[in-house]
Amino acid sequence: MATDGPAPGFRRWALEIEYDGTGLCGWQRQENGLSVQELLETAAMRLVSGLPVASATAGRTDAGVHAAAMVVQLDLPEAAELGAHHVRDGLSFHLKPHLVAIRRAALAPPGWHARFSALWRSYRYTILNRPTRPVLDHDHVWHVKRPLDVEAMRAGAALLIGRHDFSSFRAASCQASGPVRTLDLLDVRRDGEYVTIDAKARSFLHHQVRNLAGSLQLVGSGQWTPGHLGTVLAARDRRVAGPTAPPEGLCLTGVGYPEDPFGP
Amino acid sequence: MATDGPAPGFRRWALEIEYDGTGLCGWQRQENGLSVQELLETAAMRLVSGLPVASATAGRTDAGVHAAAMVVQLDLPEAAELGAHHVRDGLSFHLKPHLVAIRRAALAPPGWHARFSALWRSYRYTILNRPTRPVLDHDHVWHVKRPLDVEAMRAGAALLIGRHDFSSFRAASCQASGPVRTLDLLDVRRDGEYVTIDAKARSFLHHQVRNLAGSLQLVGSGQWTPGHLGTVLAARDRRVAGPTAPPEGLCLTGVGYPEDPFGP
């Protein structure tokens, strides 16, 4: 991944992309599956007549995880003389028939980097809380049959907000340099059969939102008291926390920058 | 379709079912495709060990149209001694892997009929109104790129509410005995990129909601004035109205009865 500016003769574009992670191996290019990155870079090569194109993202997502508004950078040759609508619609066209499309495209401000300039990321985890399995929301929710007590979940979530060592909610595979993160938001709400968990932070550990959702579900179903989440956090031990909630309930909902790359 | 009570030795069940119409030929059993009715009656036969089972519905839906809460009746043998949870979960199990499942099941009140006892049906038509094609809502929305003026659509919709001859919005294939219907609700709202049209009536003509949506879209995009919808209604001529909106944006959202068959 490029950590600095575009190569000579290239201009950096900011893209806001939406994708359905079902059947994909996640954001990052891999040997053993189709990734969003591979689909996007292939579409970009088609757009600029076969030139190789490098992309970087504000955050990786795992296999099966969705994005409503992921932000990605793409360095495209100046010589292509592309306008913003051309980039948005041209890439979306070349991404067909995959469920990946460009919501917005803009020339990035000088010095902007999709990952390193980002101030925060937000995710929503959605639980379908009813006896009947998901139908209209198939592959986009976690199905929990047992009725969840959202007030208990909210009380438990409140103990996790702020700056903490989140080792108990960190995947073994996490490549971050340390386990300390500042959780700015962890909000649990019910809307009919849906229970949503909204999380926002400067950055997250690998599987952090899914691990938080898995533990919050144990509070909601009455297996844990809300206060037990404080004990789990203090233990700094992944083995004492709840299970990792499945990927299909997770969606990246937004990325924030000091200055909106897509304009006011 | 049975218009009277269950045969001797059978009990009538009311079912609330959710289905994703994508790839199905609609509610009604047909030679040339897989229908919700065929899937449900096959699942019921499996539940009661091979006995044939007859179903009837509050309303038919076309190919590609979805239902969040369709109400269906199913006459099952008394001898099976089934409880409500058994019917709900057993049918849902035998409906796998299809995107059809039972939300609620209850023994129907005496004399109850899914279609003839119904007082109203409600539908929601959903438009995704943005330049980028649908991704997360693929197959569940109508994609309209041109920005829609929802206030104009609301003003036009107001002219269609009430008791009218809806010939201008009636499919040629409609089998109803007459074109007069009473539209109790036709509400247009925007929520971000989504424009929803909620309709409620005792009953609807064939394609009526999709035809209303197709004409409302012409008002929203500025091709028609709101008042032109009154002219179209008065013409009683399908040829002067707008196009039939595509099926994937339509979802049956509810059916009402004098007494809720699923209890208080």
DSSP A261: T
Q: Which of A20, A62, A89, A191 is catalytic?
A: A62
**Residues B146 and B218 both lie in one domain:** yes
- pLDDT band, residue A264 (cuts 50/70/90): confident
What's the rounded mean pLDDT across residues B163-189?
94
The nearest alpha carbon in chain A to B104 belongs to A132
Chain A residues whose CB is inside 8 A of the B100 CB are 135
> pLDDT by residue (tens digit) across B38-83?
999 999 999 988 887 889 999 889 999 999 999 999 999 887 788 9
Note the pLDDT of residue A81.
82
Closest CB to A135: pick one of B19, B85, B88: B19
Q: What's the gap in Å between the CA of B86 and the closest CA on chain A?
A: 12
Position A1 in a domain: no
Chain A interface includes B94 (CB < 8 A): no
The pLDDT of residue B147 is 98
Least confident of A210-214, B82-86, B184-188: B82-86
A97 and A144 fall within a common domain: no
Residues A147 and A244 in one domain: yes
Task: Summarize pLDDT for A34-81 with one digit per residue, the tens.
Answer: 999 999 999 999 998 888 888 999 988 999 999 999 999 999 988 778
Domain assignment present for B110? yes
In a domain, A264, yes or no: no
Does B89 reach chain A within 8 Å, measured CB to CB?
yes
C-alpha to C-alpha distance for A219 and A231, rounded to whole angstroms = 13
The closest alpha carbon to A44, from A1, A6, A73, belongs to A73
What ipTM, to 2 d.p.?
Answer: 0.92
Residue B67 and residue B153 in one domain: no
- Residue B200 domain flag: yes
A48 and A152 share one domain: no
Q: Check residue A8 and report its DSSP letter.
A: T
- Is B264 within a domain? no
Span of A149-158, B145-154, B174-183 with lowest mean pLDDT: B174-183
A102 in reach of chain B (CB within 8 A): yes
The average pLDDT across A120-136 equals 98
Answer yes or no: is A260 within a domain: no
- Please give the full DSSP string across chain B, using - where no structure is assigned: ---S-PPTTEEEEEEEEEE--TTS-BSS-BTTB--HHHHHHHHHHHHTTT----EEESS--BTT-EEEEEEEEEEEEGGG---HHHHHHHHHHHHTTSSEEEEEEEEPPTT--TTTT--EEEEEEEEEESSSPPSTTTTSSEEE-SPP-HHHHHHHHHTT-EEEE-GGG--TT---S-SEEEEEEEEEEEETTEEEEEEEES---TTHHHHHHHHHHHHHTTSS-TTHHHHHHHHT-GGGS-PPPPGGGEEEEEEE-SS-TT--
Q: Any idea what the CATH number is for the domain that residue A103 is in?
A: 3.30.70.580
Together in a domain, B174 and B191: yes
Q: Which helix (H) or strand (E) holds A232?
A: helix A228-235
Nearest to B232 by CA among B206, B250, B214: B214
Contact A132 B102 (CB under 8 A): yes
Contact B235, B168 (CB under 8 A): yes
Are A132 and B92 an interchain contact pair (Cβ–Cβ within 8 Å)? yes
Q: Cis before residue A52, ω within 30 degrees of 0?
A: no
Query: How would residue B173 be classed by pLDDT, with cut points 50, 70 and 90?
Result: confident
In a domain, residue B2? The reply is no
The residue of A86, A136, A194 whose CB has the most chain B CBs within 10 angstroms, and thus the best one to mutate to test that interface, is: A136
The per-residue pLDDT of chain B, averaged, comes to: 94
Judgement on whether residues B63 and B141 belong to the same structural domain of the protein: no
Do residues A71 and A105 share a domain? yes
| Inter-CA distances, A178 with A164, A173, A181, A209, A242, Å | 11, 13, 8, 16, 21
Chain B positions in Cβ-Cβ contact with residue A85 (cut-off 8 Å): 131
Percent of chain B with pLDDT over 90: 86
CATH number, domain containing residue A168: 3.30.70.660
Touching check for A103 and chain B: CB below 8 Å? yes
Residue A145 in contact with partner chain B when CB distance is under 8 A:
no
Q: Which of residues 239-258 of B touch A (CB under 8 A)?
A: 251
Interface size between A and B, measured as CB pairs under 8 A:
54
Please tell me the predicted confidence (pLDDT) of residue B253: 98
Is residue B143 assigned to a domain?
Answer: yes
Smallest CA–CA distance from A102 into chain B, residue: B132
Instruction: Report the relative pairing of strands A162-165 and A180-191 from DSSP bridges.
Output: antiparallel
Shared domain for A170 and A238, answered yes or no, is: yes
Query: Residue holding tokens 């088609």?
Result: A46
Closest-CA residue in chain A for B131?
Answer: A103
Residue A209 has pLDDT above 80, yes or no: yes
Q: What pLDDT is attached to residue A1?
A: 43
Same domain, B124 and B103: no
Q: Specify the pLDDT at position B3.
A: 57
CA atoms of A248 and B171, how far apart (whole Å): 39
**What's the Cα-to-Cα distance from A140 to each of A84, A250, B22, B238, rounded to whole Å?**
30, 8, 16, 39
Tally of domains in chain A: 2
Burial class (CB within 10 angstroms; exposed 0-12, middle 13-18, buried 19+) of A237: exposed
Kindly report, residue by residue over B7-29, the tens digit of the pLDDT: 888 999 999 999 999 999 999 99
Of the residues A117, A151, A166, the one at which a domain ends? A117
Q: Tell me the residue range of the domain where A76 lies.
A: 10-117
Asked if A138 lies within 8 A of B18 by C-beta distance, the reply is: no
d(CA A163, CA B27): 53
Binding residues of A for substrate: 123
Q: Do A103 and A133 lie in a common domain? A: no
CB A209 within 8 A of CB A123: yes
Q: Is the pLDDT of residue A3 over 70?
A: no
The pLDDT of residue A191 is 97
- Average pLDDT across chain A, whole number: 94
Residue A92 contacts B where some CB pair is shorter than 8 Å: yes
Q: Identify the domain boundary among B88, B117, B146.
A: B117
> Whose CA is closest to B45, among B98, B106, B116, B95?
B95
The pLDDT tens digits for A220-233 are 999 999 999 999 99
B45 phi and psi angles, rounded to 5 deg: -60, -40
Catalytic residue IDs of B: 62
pLDDT (0 to 100) of residue A49: 81
Q: Out of B59, B88, B117, pick the residue that ends a domain.
A: B117
> pLDDT band at A99, cuts 50/70/90?
very high
Residues A99 and A124 in one domain: no
